[in-house]
Chains A and B, each alone.
Chain A
Amino acid sequence: GAGVSQTPSNKVTEKGKYVELRCDPISGHTALYWYRQSLGQGPEFLIYFQGTGAADDSGLPNDRFFAVRPEGSVSTLKIQRTERGDSAVYLCASSLEGRDRVHFGPGTRLTVL
Chain B
Amino acid sequence: KNEVEQSPQNLTAQEGEFITINCSYSVGISALHWLQQHPGGGIVSLFMLSSGKKKHGRLIATINIQEKHSSLHITASHPRDSAVYICAVPNYGGSQGNLIFGKGTKLSVKP
Contacts and interface: CB of A to CB of B under 8 A. Distances in A.
A107 interface: yes
B97 A45 contact: yes
Interface string B17-36: 00000000000000101010
Given A44-B101, A45-B98, A101 B48 contact: yes
B110 interface: no
Contact of B98 (A58, A93, A107): A58
B96 interface: yes
A48 B42 CA distance: 19
Contact of A31 (B35, B44, B97): B97
Interface residues of A, number: 26
B86 A42 contact: yes
Contacts of B101: 42-44
A21 interface: no
A59 interface: yes
Interface in B26-63: 31, 33, 35, 41-45, 47-48
A56 B44 contact: no
Given A42-B86, A42-B104, A91-B43, A48 B48 contact: no
Contact size class for B? 20 to 34
B108 interface: no
Contact of A105 (B42, B86, B103): B42
Contacts of B48: 100-102
A104 B104 contact: no
Given A102-B45, A102-B48, A104-B45, A45 B96 contact: no
Contact of A58 (B31, B43, B45, B94): B94
A55 interface: yes
B100 interface: yes
A51 interface: no
A103 B97 CA distance: 12
Interface of B: 31, 33, 35, 41-45, 47-48, 86, 88, 91, 94-104
8 contacts: A43-B88, A44-B101, A58-B98, A95-B97, A98-B97, A101-B33, A104-B43, A106-B41
